[in-house]
Amino acid sequence: MSDAKAVADRLVKSKRLNALLTPSKELRSALTAQAAAARPTGVLYGMPVAVKDNICTLEFTTTCGSRILEGYRSPYEATAVTKLKAAGALIAGKTNCDEFAMGSSTEHSAYGRVVHPLDKTRVPGGSSGGSAALVGAGALPAALGSETGGSVRQPASFCGVVGIKPTYGRVSRYGLVAFGSSLDQIGVLGRSVHDAARVLSVISGRDPRDATCEDRDPLRLPTVPESLQGFVIGLPREYFPAELDPAVRRACDRAVRLLRDLGAAVREVSLPHTAYAVPTYYVIAPAEASSNLARYDGVRYGPRFDGHADLRGLYRATRGQGFGAEVRRRILVGTYVLSAGFYDAYYRRAQQMRALIAQDFRNVFDRGVDLLFTPTTPSPAFKAGEKLSDPIAMYMSDIFTVTANLAGVPAISLPIGRVKGLPIGGQLIGQAFLEDEMLEAAYALERVVPATDEA
Amino acid sequence: MSVSRDDVLRIAQLAELDVEEDALPDVAEQMSRILDYVAQLSAMPASTNGTVKTFVPGPDAIRFRPDEVAPWPLAFGPAAFAPAFKEGFFVVPKLGQFE
């Protein structure tokens, strides 16, 4: 199959990015076998789609970028992957990511950092950095990622590609390795809004194997609208702070002018609890992670690190050596905030704040606003190593993305300009299960925005 | 600093996680910074404290699926992961061989 060979060649050529964890030889034979078996009637027939390494596949190992799952082969595959295959897509290997999707730069992988496709001194964002870098380098039209706090949109923004986080419950989480179960959602990175959207429409829809997946039909894709007449787009003032990178602000101003030119009514709105979103997230996500990651004990999955006399010693040695620094830190923070005496001060308060943040969104949407437009990240891609020693600085790069995860609403990032050659992303946030409206606006904006021009 | 060395050891024990002795000061310092940072949640207005319901996205009611017993096929047969497997059976040591 020459198509499979061409796909493999393009991916192998991007090796310098360290974005793909699947060895070249294995990738070639898997692609050839899949191409021979793919149904020609599928809507994604022949389309290569790489899959983030925290999504289970039968063809390849699933390591979550961690030593604790080195060489692990899942006995089942994710529903999203099954649906992709049924639509004729070729699963083009597993992409590198921050360990267990914890990170914003793809520097926290046990298999080495991923390199930004346009500037090797910078990070591609994270945690779906491998997927974003491959799509950004032109090696693939689309790839699956996962989101807990912005892990699709933030790297999409850094790498100049489109990233969609669907509504919580739109896509089955069956086979997505759990990090923060009330926040996790599989998302899509694509070369264009349409590439990402058509993959999303294939993987969306009900799944009896995931009780949190809504009983709904797959997403129907909208057509590209002539204008955005009738759309009301809100600009939340908390997302345009004084310290916002000036180039990001210029690119956003230009995109807003274009949205107005398309006929949309644009008005300023307020989401007053935005300032609490990052602290809320960094209580809830580690709390859920500390519980979800309790299963990695050296007995049930992956390698074990012995040298201890008893079972608990085995657990502690395996977990202490198998997890990287960031994962260990989050497990410890999560355990701390859930422990007796601290639960009310941290976890309960964070749950309450999450309700207020979700209410902020309902309030603006109830007042006739259809969509929100914001920058995706406060700055373009940063230098490798720049934020490694300062976890809070790293966490702040998710400041404009975590709110959509906390509220469970859909959001999309698309390229809206560049600064010194580095891409800048703009974000549209929609109402729950109204991805079609969000995509309509994204289609319209994508057609007119000078995505590769300096802002 | 809100987290001491002993706190880290206590939490690490709860989390079943070894933390190396020489890494302790760094871990304590970084945990303190993170916990001090998230402590701003306590600035939440007192009027809303306690009256706000918590929020979890997803379906309003838990959906149940029919409780049917069906075969759940393994992706790999037992032959692929059992230490010894022959003609449909797991091969185990004879009972008499145990002390």
Report yes or no: B62 at the A interface, CB cutoff 8 Å.
Answer: yes
> Comparing A73-77, A202-206, A215-219, B52-56, which segment has the lowest mean pLDDT?
B52-56
Percent of chain A with pLDDT over 90: 91
Name the band, by pLDDT with cuts 50, 70 and 90, for residue A82: very high
Predicted confidence band at B45 (pLDDT cuts at 50, 70, 90)?
Answer: low
A302 in any annotated domain = yes
pLDDT of A2 strictly over 70: no
In degrees rounded to 5, what are phi and psi of residue A38? Answer: -65, 140
Cβ of B18 and A320 within 8 Å? yes
Chain B contacts of A58, Cβ < 8 Å? 75
Q: Which residues of B touch A280 (CB under 8 A)?
A: 38, 41
Q: Per-residue confidence at B94, pLDDT binned at 50, 70, 90?
A: confident
B86 interface with A at CB cutoff 8 Å: no
DSSP for A338-366 reads HSTTTIIIIIIHHHHHHHHHHHHHHHHHH
> Is A151 assigned a catalytic role?
yes
* Distance to chain A for B68, nearest Cα, Å: 13
Torsion angle of C-alpha atoms A268, A272, A277, A283, degrees rounded to 10: -170
Residue B79 lies in a domain: no
Residues A282 and B34 sit within 8 Å (Cβ to Cβ):
yes
* Strand pairing report for A371-375 and A232-236: parallel
* Per-residue pLDDT, B50: 60
Domain with A328, as residue range(s), is 278-344
| Residues in Cβ contact with A350 at an 8 Å cutoff, skipping those fewer than 6 apart | A279, A280, A283, A284, A287, A337, B38, B41
Q: Which residue of A has its CA nearest to B17?
A: A316
Residue A329 CB neighbours (<10 A): 20
Instruction: Tell me, yes or no, if A85 is annotated catalytic.
Output: no
The answer to whether A19 and A114 are in contact (CB under 8 A) is yes
Q: Do B58 and A214 touch (CB under 8 A)?
A: yes
Contact list in A for residue B31 (CB cut-off 8 A) is 329, 332-333, 336
Chain A residue with Cα closest to B21: A320
Looking at the predicted structure, is the pLDDT value of residue A430 above 60? yes
| Domain carrying residue B38 | 5-43
Q: Residue length, chain A? A: 455
Note whether residue B38 is domain-resident: yes
Residue A324 lies in a domain: yes
Distance to chain A for B85, nearest Cα, Å: 18
> Pick the catalytic residue: A151, A201, A379, A397?
A151
The answer to whether the CB of A55 falls within 8 A of the CB of A173 is no
Helix axes A349-366, A277-292, angle to 10 degrees: 120
| Each residue's pLDDT tens digit, A26-45 | 999 999 999 999 888 999 99
Residues of chain B found within 8 Å of residue A298, distances taken between Cβ atoms: none
Q: Is residue B98 part of a domain?
A: no
For chain A, the distance separating the N- and C-terminal CA atoms, rounded to the nearest angstrom, is 43
Interface pTM (ipTM) of the complex? 0.90
Which residues pair with residue A143 across a beta bridge? A50, A189
Q: Total domain count for chain B? A: 1
Verify whether residue A25 is a known catalytic residue.
no
Considering only the C-alpha atoms of chain A, give the largest distance between any 2 of them, rounded to a whole number of Å: 71
Contact: A316, B16; criterion CB under 8 Å: yes
Could you give the CA distance from residue B17 to residue A122 in angstroms, rounded to a whole number?
32
Q: Considering its fold, how many domains does chain A have in total?
A: 1
Q: Is B32 part of a structural domain of the chain?
A: yes
The pLDDT value given to residue B46: 54
How confident is residue A301, by pLDDT bands cut at 50, 70 and 90?
A: confident
pLDDT reading at B6 higher than 60: yes
The answer to whether the CB of A427 falls within 8 A of the CB of A411 is yes
Chain B contact set for A272 (CB, 8 A) = none
pLDDT tens, residue by residue, A354-404:
999 999 999 999 999 999 999 999 999 999 999 998 989 999 999 999 999
Q: Is a pLDDT exceeding 70 seen at residue A76?
A: yes
